Structure formats: structure tokens, C-alpha cells
């Protein structure tokens, strides 16, 4: 697609109003302007919606994203969308979840990006756990494949995990695959949680020592920690929650300094959207989330490869939907 220099200039200015807040120059915005223009044009022509997780790169979130959010919020957007095509800029399991919730839509994913948690458990592991704990219910974190979800009783995200635990009929619950999340939730419930051994390769890297260092230098700072972090890190925090919980806390807080113990996308969102809020300490990039480029999104809209279109067997959709529907039912009820 060809664009005039005036169109490129206007688009670069539009991008710059947002991206300058994360240190982009006007020149850098001008370099990607033809891509964002083409993607946004194709999006309208094809009646597509672009959902972007908050860990995506700033040019994806602010250049082409229609909705930004956490895994729960974006699932609900996918469930209710009027668009014909859902382009899910995130890791593969989130796009699968969108397909399960809205199977009549075409769901596309720009790259086949995995996730260390989703890769840590297979359907047979669930079957084995059920045999070992015959009275326990099974909750799977959303960071699992559709095939794993199909073996579970309910799904959850970091935004609603405790509600799902409390809303299940059993007092004993297998909670997979995030070991740290299960350990962080255990003190908050009287139910017995049986964890798996999965870890997020991003959140496991944060240390309690680095949090204490920031606290000693900035005693007024609020420490906001994703629930995939280790329990000793969570112990140092003012809030443990999902990416959206962290953003809501910053938005509603009178404090001006925050340590965001999570992936760097959340820092980008705070810097871009919340003026006057200072972000302290370092963040870590998720190599899976950050795989997606504007070029991938363009191909995915224009002429997707078969791998970019989510295709799941009917019976997997049917069984995994039960787990996801249970999560939505319990979440919306409470
Ligand atoms: P959220 O549900 O908080 O967006 O988390 C998803 C995720 O992968 C965090 O690492
Ligand atoms: Fe998976 Fe961790 Fe990346 Fe989230 S941040 S997608 S849990 S590897």
C-alpha cells in the first residue's frame, strides 16, 4: 500500500503523542508510520479487532491496539466482540482462549509465542494428578494450553484466582501450573491447594533483595507485585495481583512513586497513560510476548499462514469451554 508523505507525517505525529512518553523520537515514529497506517486500514476493511496484552511493545499497544488489557479483560472482549476477525497480540494460549469463548469468529495470532508456564504441564499430568488426589477439584491458570484446560474443572486468571478457589465446591484443589501463584494464594484461603511445579521465567527472576533496596531508598514508594512472583517477593508488597490490578492501583493511588514488579509493558503503560507517576527499579522483558512485530501483525491481517489462524478440535473446544465458562460464571457472580 502506498501512502502520501502528508499521510505518513500525520500518522507519525499521532504516534509521537503517545510514544514520546516512552522515549521514542519523531524519526522513529515516521519509520513505522506506513505499517500502522496499513494495519489500521486493513483492520477496518476486514472488520477485525486487535486485542493487545499490556506486555506488548508500545508500538503495538498504541499504534494499532483497539483494546489493551490483562488476560481476563481481553478474554471478555473476545467473547463479546462484533468483529469478524480477532487478532490477538499476545501469547498463544490467550488466542486459544478467545477461540474457545467465541468459536464462530476467526481468531488469529501474529506469532506462535509460547509461555514457560503453559509449556510446563501436559494433559496427562492432570490425569495423573486426579488419580493421586481423587477428591480434589482441578483449577488451571489461564496460562495453559487448550488441551490442558479441557482436562480441568475451572480456569482462572491472576485477576480472579481467589474467587475461583472460593467458588469451587471442593475443599481440596489441584492448582496448576504456577507453583508460586499457588503458594501465594494458600495463606488467603482455608482450602488445601495442591501445586504443580511450573514457573514464569520472567517473574521468577525478581528478588526480595531488589525490592528491599528500592524500599530503603524510597520509603514512600508502593510496591506492586504480579502474583507469579515468588512468595518472599510478594511478602514485601503493597499489592499482589494481575497486570490490570497493578494498573488500577496506580491509577487510584495518591502515591507518586511505584515499583512495578512485573514485565516492562506495565511500566510502558504507566509512563504513557499516567502523568506524574514515577516508576522505580528495573523491569524484565518477556521473550514470548515481545516476539510480535508490526510486520507480523500485517502479514496476519493480509494473508495469514495456517499457523497464524487458531484451529482447535471441536471436542477440545467443548471441554475447555466448560472450564472457562466456570471461571466467567464465578467471576461475574461475585
Ligand atoms: P495477566 O492476567 O495479569 O495479564 O497475566 C498474564 C501473564 O502472562 C502474566 O505473566
Ligand atoms: Fe508466560 Fe511469564 Fe511471559 Fe506471562 S510473563 S507470558 S507467564 S513467560
pLDDT, tens digit (0-9, with 9 covering 90-100), for 258-276: 999 999 999 999 999 999 9
pLDDT, position 167: 96
pLDDT, position 333: 87
Instruction: Based on the fold, state whether residues 317 and 196 are members of the same structural domain.
Output: yes
How large is the average pLDDT for residues 207-225? 97
CA–CA gap between residue 267 and residue 31 (Å, rounded): 24
Instruction: Based on the fold, state whether residues 320 and 186 are members of the same structural domain.
Output: yes
CB atoms within 10 A of CB 219: 8
Residue 214 confidence (pLDDT) above 80: yes
Distance 286 CA to ligand 2 centre (A): 6
Instruction: Based on the fold, state whether residues 38 and 129 are members of the same structural domain.
Output: no
pLDDT, position 172: 98
Whole-number percent of the chain with pLDDT over 90: 98
Instruction: Based on the fold, state whether residues 109 and 122 are members of the same structural domain.
Output: no
Instruction: Based on the fold, state whether residues 298 and 319 are members of the same structural domain.
Output: no
Residue 334 confidence (pLDDT) above 80: no
Q: Is residue 63 part of a domain?
A: yes
Whole-number percent of the chain with pLDDT over 70: 100
This prediction's pTM: 0.96
Instruction: Based on the fold, state whether residues 92 and 25 are members of the same structural domain.
Output: yes
Beta-bridge mates of residue 284: 263
Instruction: Based on the fold, state whether residues 107 and 240 are members of the same structural domain.
Output: no
Which atom of ligand 2 is closest in space to residue 288's alpha carbon?
3
Instruction: Based on the fold, state whether residues 320 and 189 are members of the same structural domain.
Output: yes
Q: Is residue 191 part of a domain?
A: yes
Q: Is residue 285 part of a domain?
A: no
> Is the CB of 36 inside a 6 Å radius of any atom of ligand 1?
no
Residue 116, SS3? coil
Radius of gyration of the CA atoms of the chain, in A: 20
Contacts of 262 (CB under 8 A, 6+ apart): 202, 203, 224, 225, 226, 229, 243, 246, 283
pLDDT, position 207: 97
Instruction: Based on the fold, state whether residues 317 and 174 are members of the same structural domain.
Output: yes
Confidence class for position 88, pLDDT limits 50, 70, 90: very high
Judged by its nearest atom, the ligand closest to the C-alpha of residue 240 is 1
Instruction: Based on the fold, state whether residues 10 and 109 are members of the same structural domain.
Output: yes
> Is the CB of 178 inside a 6 Å radius of any atom of ligand 2?
no
Q: What angle do CA 199, 203, 208 make, to 5 degrees?
A: 115
DSSP conformational letter for 278: E
Confidence class for position 170, pLDDT limits 50, 70, 90: very high
Instruction: Based on the fold, state whether residues 81 and 105 are members of the same structural domain.
Output: yes
pLDDT, position 1: 82
Q: Is residue 271 part of a domain?
A: yes
Report CA-CA distances (Å) from 297 to 11, 87, 88.
Answer: 18, 8, 9
> Is the CB of 91 inside a 6 Å radius of any atom of ligand 2?
yes
Tell how strand 172-176 and strand 154-156 pair up: unpaired
CA–CA gap between residue 95 and residue 116 (Å, rounded): 16
Instruction: Based on the fold, state whether residues 226 and 265 are members of the same structural domain.
Output: yes
C-alpha cell at 301: 491481517
Q: Is residue 85 part of a domain?
A: yes
Q: Is residue 184 part of a domain?
A: yes
Residue 86, SS3? strand
> Is the CB of 70 inside a 6 Å radius of any atom of ligand 1?
yes
Q: Is residue 308 part of a domain?
A: no
- Structural domain of 194: 118-200+313-333
Beta-bridge mates of residue 226: 241
Q: Is residue 320 part of a domain?
A: yes
- Predicted confidence (pLDDT) per residue in 143-166, tens digit: 999 999 999 999 999 999 999 999
Q: How would DSSP label each residue in 216-268?
A: HH-TT-EEEEETTS-HHHHTT-SEEE-HHHHHHHHHH-S--EEEEESBHHHHH
327: domain CATH number is 3.40.50.10800
Tally the domains of the chain: 3
Amino acid at each position: 500500500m502506498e501512502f502520501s508523505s502528508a499521510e505518513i507525517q500525520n500518522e507519525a505525529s499521532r504516534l509521537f503523542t503517545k510514544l514520546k512518553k516512552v522515549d521514542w523520537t519523531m524519526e522513529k515514529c515516521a519509520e513505522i508510520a506506513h505499517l500502522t497506517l496499513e494495519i489500521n486500514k486493513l483492520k477496518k476493511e476486514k472488520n477485525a479487532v486487535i486485542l493487545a496484552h499490556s506486555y506488548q511493545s508500545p508500538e503495538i499497544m498504541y499504534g494499532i491496539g483497539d483494546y489493551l488489557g490483562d488476560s481476563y479483560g481481553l478474554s471478555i472482549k473476545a467473547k463479546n466482540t462484533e468483529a469478524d476477525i480477532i487478532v490477538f497480540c499476545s501469547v498463544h494460549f490467550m488466542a486459544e482462549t478467545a477461540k474457545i469463548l467465541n468459536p464462530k469468529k476467526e481468531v488469529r495470532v501474529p506469532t506462535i509465542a509460547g509461555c514457560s508456564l503453559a509449556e510446563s504441564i501436559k494433559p496427562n499430568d492432570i490425569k495423573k494428578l486426579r488419580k493421586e488426589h481423587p477428591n480434589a477439584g482441578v483449577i488451571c491458570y489461564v496460562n495453559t494450553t487448550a488441551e490442558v484446560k479441557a482436562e480441568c474443572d475451572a480456569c482462572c486468571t491472576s485477576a480472579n484466582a481467589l474467587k475461583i478457589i472460593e467458588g469451587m465446591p471442593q475443599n481440596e484443589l489441584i492448582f496448576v501450573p504456577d507453583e508460586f501463584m499457588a503458594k501465594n494464594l494458600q495463606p488467603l484461603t482455608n482450602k488445601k491447594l495442591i501445586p504443580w511445579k511450573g514457573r514464569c521465567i520472567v517473574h521468577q527472576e525478581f528478588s526480595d533483595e531488589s525490592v528491599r533496596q528500592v524500599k530503603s531508598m524510597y520509603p514512600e514508594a508502593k510496591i506492586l507485585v504480579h502474583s507469579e512472583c515468588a512468595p518472599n517477593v510478594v511478602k514485601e508488597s503493597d499489592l499482589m495481583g494481575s497486570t490490570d490490578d497493578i494498573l488500577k492501583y496506580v491509577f487510584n493511588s495518591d502515591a507518586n512513586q511505584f515499583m512495578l514488579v512485573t514485565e516492562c509493558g506495565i511500566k510502558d503503560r504507566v509512563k504513557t497513560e499516567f502523568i506524574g507517576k514515577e516508576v522505580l527499579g528495573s523491569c524484565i522483558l518477556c521473550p514470548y510476548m515481545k516476539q510480535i512485530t508490526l510486520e507480523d501483525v500485517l502479514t496476519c491481517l493480509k494473508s495469514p499462514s495456517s499457523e497464524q489462524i487458531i484451529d482447535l478440535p471441536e471436542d477440545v473446544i467443548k471441554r475447555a469451554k466448560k472450564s472457562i465458562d466456570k471461571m466467567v460464571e464465578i467471576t461475574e457472580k461475585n
